[in-house]
């Protein structure tokens, strides 16, 4: 089983919090406008997008079927998110 360690530190490298998430292989994490984080991961050959609050607690999880590798998920200017992953049926990347 894989684990993903995510932690928050300030500019002086003081640790605010850290969480370990089991069963996911994290690939990208970005801060969101509400102070939380958006994370892409691969879990059991499915791409997942997690929204975390500012303390690293999972607010929601979105499974993206048809993908097997999560590459990047980023916040968009309109408050949404865009995810790019690799599709199972080909070597194409789909956003």
pLDDT profile of the chain (95 residues), mean per 10:
69 78 72 88 76 90 73 84 74 53
Q: Return the pLDDT at 79.
A: 86
Q: Return the pLDDT at 59.
A: 94
Alpha-carbon distance 52 to 61, whole Å? 9
Q: Return the pLDDT at 24.
A: 62
Alpha-carbon distance 69 to 77, whole Å? 25
């Amino acid at each position: 089983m894989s684990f993903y360690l995510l932690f928050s530190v300030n500019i002086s490298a003081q640790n605010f919090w850290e969480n370990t998430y089991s069963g996911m292989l994290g690939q990208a994490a970005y801060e969101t406008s509400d102070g939380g984080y958006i994370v892409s991961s691969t879990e059991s050959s499915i791409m997942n997008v997690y929204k975390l609050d500012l303390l690293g607690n999972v607010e929601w999880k979105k499974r993206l079927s048809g993908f097997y590798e999560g590459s990047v998920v980023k916040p968009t200017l309109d408050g949404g998110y865009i995810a790019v992953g690799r599709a199972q049926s080909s070597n194409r990347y789909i956003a």
